Every structure is written in structure tokens, then in C-alpha cells.
Amino acid sequence: MSYPVEKSDEEWQAVLSKEQFRVLRKQGTEAPYTGKYDKHMPSEGVYTCAGCDAPLYKASHKFKSGCGWPAYFDNIPGAVTRHTDSTLGMQRTEIVCSNCGGHLGHVFKGEGYPTPTDERHCVNSVSMKFSPEDKIVDKAQAQPAGTQTAEGSQPTESKV
């Protein structure tokens, strides 16, 4: 799949830490309860992709799941793309940044959390950065300038 931001492994390694590269570009997972955003519960702000700065989640999407990784019940519209992940002998739904394809984590449904979507986006802290300012007003602002697709449309979330 192609994304608006495309870089070689060498280019990604030049701008990401070793751990960010391992998780974002090689589909790694950080150890549970070690990420800086696991227990981070701001009342406002936005989490952006550590690879390309695209807005991913609002602080208001975050909830306490106790799983050891930051958990969100929803994402900013169009910011996250879903793929089927059949690694590790199971079928899961991988979530990636719609702007650069960076691996964020996985989404799980039907776990019974009292959230509006009954989904848990289990995201690696190292895949994100946080800004206390929430500048996302509508979907048109969800993508950074110059990241529209070739047809001029915004990336859309694929359903599994």
C-alpha cells in the first residue's frame, strides 16, 4: 500500500530513534507498562504520529484499559488505516498511520469497555508524540498540509 509520506529505511533511520524505527517501520511492540503515554491522561490535546507528525488521536479518545499500552476508543477521522495481521498464529487488526504507514499497534473489538465504540486501539507510546494544544477542528484539518492523495481526497479508514 502506498502512503502520502514515503521514505526508504535509510531515510526513516535518519529521523527516528532505534526504538521508533523498530516499532513504526518494522511492526515491533514496546514492552507493556513501559511507554510514556500509558498512564498519561490529559484532558485535552492531540497525539500525533512520531514518524510524520500527522494527528492521530484526541486526548478525549483516551481511556484507562489497564492493558499496559495507551488505549483509545476512536481515532481522528481518516487518520488511522486498518489491516489484517495474521502474524503470531492469530488474526488481529493492525492499525497504521494513514499518512506514512507507520505501525501504531492493534485494535480490538467487543472487550466490553464502557466506551462509545466498544473498541480498544492499543497503541505503542513510542509511535506517538503529544501536543497539549488540540488544533484539530474538523476532518479537513486532520491531515497535515500537502498530504492529500493523488486524486486530492483524504485517506479513509478501511473497515475489516
The residues carrying an active-site annotation are: 122
pLDDT digits (tens, 9 = 90+) for 31-54: 999 999 999 999 999 999 999 999
pTM passes above 0.85: no
CB-based contacts of 91: which residues, under 8 Å, 6+ apart? 84, 85
Spatial distance between the Cα atoms of 2 and 79, rounded to a whole number of angstroms? 15
DSSP class of residue 24?
I
pLDDT digits (tens, 9 = 90+) for 82-110: 999 998 888 999 999 999 999 999 999 99
Strand segments, DSSP code E, in 13-148 are 46-49, 55-58, 62-63, 71-72, 80-85, 92-97, 103-109, 119-123, 128-131
User: Domains of the chain by range and CATH?
Assistant: 9-141 (2.170.150.20)
* 3-class secondary structure, 88: helix
Q: Is the dihedral of CA 158, 146, 100, 79 positive or negative?
A: negative
